[in-house]
Structure 1
């Protein structure tokens, strides 16, 4: 699971630190997996490959906005300052995971990383597009949206036709990247999930959801799905 890298306070200390809210890795452990945290650090394709040789699945977690330069856009005034170290780390890990067929689950920012790494683009400020701030109310207050899945997708098989989603994002997927298909939208038409195009060869688990499944751990279906995919991958790699 990827992590934040930013200023953090604990006790008398106020330092840059790698951290991840417990609720993320609790989702993995409740689903039967073992969570390993992957803090941003200097990376190249060789390092990314060596890291992934020791894990069975990759969860790219939520966090700050993706650098618009990653998808060829100038920054919007509301877009965060680039988290360069984190972008470099997560893009390298994701690209290696996709090459190797390692299961991937992207959460919020993670879905956006997946789309940008696949050549897609993002809406940098949803209120400019849909006219309201329901998707990110601010002050750590999540908005609840009903998402509707696309029939025949992996996501639809996992969660059914509709599901309530806890949202906290002011950006969203615009043009969908190569090799991905839309697997859910909300009532505003905002893309809420993308996944690997089933027309591609193989059956690798690659799914990005714009919402925060860790905020509703009474529903572990997405975490269970990525843990089961990781278990299958590990078994196949060992055989």
Structure 2
């Protein structure tokens, strides 16, 4: 996925967050919170074949999950930490993959599975009540790699990748200071393992309950 497309979606999340937050009727409540979210998962997977050539795959699909976090005031803004667990059904198409030992009819599919991680976030308030923040953390992401040979036989391996995650988000109260809307966009960068070099983008909307 291009950097321009990611930047555009991050900017849209900030603008939406500011617009909704300006109409909010309460302040965000500091302290612990529980969050559920749903959204869109998109990957950028580079696969290197046996002969040294490469092919890019773009698995995409729905995503959902839950998180436990803590939000603390920090000057004119706030600082928070969060741990999360999620799952998605992102799946790539199965284009022909050149350079395989079983010939040009070989195909390959990448399928997202589960993810978990931890992150910190720091930001400032817009329109006094909407918090816009930067995100930095670490994600573990399980990715299934299915090879289909010329006879149609499938071999699937699952690998858990891990790496840094960065992004932006916006939070604003809904109806009371205990319930808040969360909009986030993140990108995770993983290590190259056995010829597979993935990245993972997640665009999510969630509800958090402070307690």
Q: Which has the larger radius of gyration?
A: 2
TM-score normalised by structure 2 residue count: 0.27
1 or 2, which has the higher helix percentage?
1
**RCO greater where, 1 or 2, for CA within 8 Å and sep 6 or more?**
2
1 or 2, which has the higher strand percentage?
2
